[in-house]
């Protein structure tokens, strides 16, 4: 699929072409900088267009989209509830590459959220209960007290998923693959959703 993307100038790409190219770039990034491969900037906005961005971790992806998890009451959670349009940015410095992805985010299924939550370390699951993410915190001591309270509530390995904690899947409608070239003559290739397939093209650097 990467060969299709590399050889096409502008036109229609195979249905899975951008995902195949993303997979190849993601695998190369995992080899080059394994500590940061799945770190991505997530940009969201309020219904009236006020933007915000932060680094989150990609927890799964396939041709349905790109998945991340959060407290639903966090700033990103509430913004996505009011305005599902969002953007992702992967930057792999070691490869001098970045990928921009745009689309709409929707909640993952309860089963998906349960499965991922159960795979997390116990203290991470405890932390999901204790943190009122994005809300004001009077002191670190208050957070530690909440952690102790939740640990006492769930002393064993079984810690249920909080009802306010789940995931989102961003379904792409646009990709841009950017690769560094000498003298700022970078390579920029786009894939834009067109029915069941993708329309591909190039951008001036």
Any bridge partners for residue 63, and if so which? Answer: none
**Is residue 176 within 8 Å of residue 18, measured between CB atoms?**
no
Annotated active-site residue in 125, 184, 188, 189: 184
Residue 11: phi and psi, rounded to 5, are 155, -150
State how far the Cα of 146 lies from the Cα of 155, in Å rounded to an integer: 14
Token representation of residue 187: 């390579």
Q: Is 153 tagged catalytic?
A: no
* CA dihedral sign of residues 195, 200, 201, 205: positive
- Contact in structure between 42 and 53 (CB atoms under 8 Å): yes
Active site residues: 184
């Amino acid at each position: 699929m990467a060969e299709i993307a590399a050889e096409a100038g502008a036109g229609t790409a195979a249905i899975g072409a951008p995902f195949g190219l993303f997979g190849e770039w993601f695998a190369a990034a995992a080899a080059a900088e394994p500590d940061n491969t799945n770190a991505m900037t997530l940009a969201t906005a309020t219904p009236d267009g006020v933007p915000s961005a932060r680094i989150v971790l990609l927890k799964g992806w396939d041709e349905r989209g790109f998945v991340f998890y959060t407290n639903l009451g966090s700033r990103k959670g509430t913004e996505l509830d009011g305005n599902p349009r969002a953007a992702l940015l992967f930057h792999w410095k070691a490869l001098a590459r970045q990928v921009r992805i745009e689309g709409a985010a929707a909640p993952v299924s309860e089963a998906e959220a349960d499965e991922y939550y159960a795979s997390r370390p116990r203290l991470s699951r405890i932390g999901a209960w204790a943190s009122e993410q994005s809300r004001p915190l009077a002191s670190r001591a208050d957070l530690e007290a909440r952690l102790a309270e939740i640990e006492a509530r769930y002393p064993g390995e079984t810690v249920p998923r909080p009802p306010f904690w789940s995931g989102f899947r961003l379904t792409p409608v646009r990709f841009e693959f950017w690769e560094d070239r000498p003298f700022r003559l970078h390579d920029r290739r786009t894939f834009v959703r067109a029915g069941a397939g993708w329309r591909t093209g190039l951008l001036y650097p």
